[in-house]
Amino acid sequence: MGLFDIFSRGKKETLDKGLEKTKESFFSKLNRAVAGKSKVDDAVLDQLEEILVTSDVGVDTTLKIIDRIEERVARDKYINSEELTRILREEIAALLMENSSDDVDDFSVPEGKKPYVIMVVGVNGVGKTTTIGKLAYQFKQRGLSVYLGAADTFRAAAVEQLVIWGERVGVPVIKQKMGSDPASVAFDTLNSAKANNADVVIIDTAGRLHNKINLMNELTKIKNVMSKVIPDAPHEVLLMLDGSTGQNAFEQAKQFTAATEVTALAITKLDGTAKGGVVIGISDQFNIPVKYIGLGEGMEDLQVFRRKDFVDSLFGE
């Protein structure tokens, strides 16, 4: 077995462990629903609908899955409760494949965009700053030079935390005094990164959500200022969502996709929750690719989201 195979197996084991609570909760409910049943009937489908909703898959996505299963039950009269798991797996896999662009192979950035600029958005408390640190670590591991911009100038803790992560990972952090204009921090960061021929820039932003108009104006201003330094920046707007909050994550996704043009999602804290179904619903409802998932506290515990691996871990190989 080669080094790459060992590394891949280690990542898959982390994913299996991270989704363990979701898997146990989901299948214990499913097993109770089909216990003693010889076929999939309306009662089983009603219970399945309830299981999916309570697993935070979301109502709209749940109804889509149930409709597809009903079609197959009507077509294939012989379907029994033992086959339900296989069909459910197939339909969830199909849904994930339909509603995302191709999986990202690894922590890499497109060629021809240097520096590649990522603007990170999301409410406070979702693991935004920590995930930025982990992302910087993963990029650096691949030989890329990274600059971080502390543009969340409204919280001293956010700037301090980003500086700590910068020191830990060994990447520069550009900051200004508290209360400074976030767009000014982004401007300085891009200029420094450009002058030093950096490969990647990650800009942290404030996580306030109490006023959508202010949020929209602030994010738009940051983007406009960045584009003066690098014409097509930001190349990516990455929305961080806390998977353990379930339906709140849906609401946050609605707010931020309304406030700015989100191009990718990172769903954090999946290891500590049974609400991993939120990945399925968010991927389906927003048609924005889930790019990264957080599965623990360690630097290595941020993973690129691979749909097939996710379904395999949720249902078993």
Instruction: Give me the pLDDT at residue 6, please.
Output: 36
Measured CA to CA, the distance from residue 26 to residue 22 in angstroms comes to: 6
Instruction: Give me the pLDDT at residue 1, please.
Output: 42
Omega prior to 115 cis, within 30 of 0 = yes
Radius of gyration of the chain (CA): 21
Residue 185 has pLDDT above 70, yes or no: yes
pLDDT, one tens digit per residue, over 247-269 is 888 888 888 888 889 999 999 98
pTM of the model: 0.89
pLDDT, one tens digit per residue, over 64-100 is 999 998 888 888 765 676 788 888 888 888 888 876 5
Residue 236 has pLDDT above 90, yes or no: yes
Question: In sequence order, what E strands does 32-109 have?
Answer: none
pLDDT, one tens digit per residue, over 126-161 is 889 999 999 999 999 999 999 999 999 888 888 999
Omega prior to 234 cis, within 30 of 0 = yes
pLDDT, one tens digit per residue, over 19-33 is 888 888 888 888 887
Mean pLDDT, the chain, as a whole number?
A: 86
Instruction: Give me the pLDDT at residue 124, please.
Output: 84
The partner residues of 40 in beta bridges, in order of sequence, read none
